[in-house]
Amino acid sequence: MRLLILFFGLAIPFSGIAQSLGGYVDAANMEFMMRNAPGEIRNMKGEAYGTIGTPNFFDEFKHGNIYLANKTVMKNVPLNYDCFKDQVLFNKGEVDYILNKRLIDYLEFPGKADSPIVLKQVFVAEKKTTLFMKVVYDENTSLYRHYYKTFQEADYTGAYNQDKRYDEYISNHAWYMENEDGELTRFRPVKKAILQIMKSHKEEMEKFLKREKPDLKTEEGLYLTVKYYDELLSVKENN
């Protein structure tokens, strides 16, 4: 499948996302805002039986909205997120285009129960770059889930082969929490690690975890935990 790089006009500095999805105006014309650069060919097929899985967030392109750093939005366009290369893809006919991620604040897709799926660019200091992450909770404290994929090649030749006759994209994810001061921390979804981040209210959080028993391996459990911690912070600020 052919991939082309697209640029939306001139480079625009990355801007932080607003807590709400407001403040953006419709882009006048998507085609007017982009130009083509030399393309590249993606070639990652298995030698025997092809490839299992996909590098993308969705199995198929899904219509969503692109919120740009210049405070315009392009609505209802076929998009996908390449978790393997951290790239935003736009589909037009039989061609998938790579969008210039520096110009994007975040992506929004329809989700379950009227709750949109939002992929926001988050700066990760130790990697010295931004990564698209799913926003799970976003108030004074923010909770993100970073989806990424690794590629494992077929292995069915040689003396110690695994008799694996296909290439495969393997799904992974990591959890990040950002406090009210903008400090981003990657953490394991276990009680000890979470209490270390929430040490300013460790005693109250220990009681909450013992009483409510949220499943810290799930988005729902972590959402409830971070939300309660955020409420404790708000009470402290108002006193």
* 86-96: pLDDT as tens digits: 999 988 888 88
Q: 65-100: buried (b, 16+ CB within 10 Å) or exposed (e) per residue?
A: bbbbbbebbbeebebbbbbbebbbbbbeeeebbbbb
Residue 142 has pLDDT above 80, yes or no: yes
Between 236 and 1, where is the model more confident? 236
Point out which residues pair with 121 in neighbouring strands: 132
Q: What is the pLDDT of residue 223?
A: 96
pLDDT at 132: 96
Two structure tokens written together for 147: 């989806």
Q: From CA 108, how far away is CA 130, in angstroms rounded?
A: 17
Contact 45, 169 (CB under 8 A): no
Answer with the residue of higher pLDDT: 28 or 169: 169
How sure is the predictor about 15, in pLDDT bands with cuts at 50, 70 and 90?
very low
Least confident range of 9-13, 187-191, 216-220: 9-13
- Asked whether residue 140 carries a pLDDT value surpassing 70, the answer given is yes
- Residue 92 has what pLDDT? 84
pLDDT tens-digit readout, 29-80: 555 444 343 333 333 333 446 778 889 999 999 999 999 988 989 999 999 9
Q: What is the mean pLDDT of the chain?
A: 81
Distances (CA, A) of 233 to 113, 118, 178, 219, 226: 28, 24, 13, 21, 11
State the Cα–Cα distance between residues 12 and 2, nearest whole angstrom.
26
- pLDDT of 117 above 80: yes
Which band of pLDDT confidence, cut at 50, 70 and 90, is reported for residue 21?
A: low
Q: What is the pTM of this model?
A: 0.79
Compare 111 and 157 and report the one with higher pLDDT: 111
Query: What are the start-end ranges of the E strands in the chain?
Result: 2-8, 25-26, 34-36, 40-41, 51-52, 62-68, 72-82, 87-92, 95-99, 104-109, 117-124, 129-138, 142-152, 167-178, 184-187
pLDDT at residue 114, as a whole number: 75
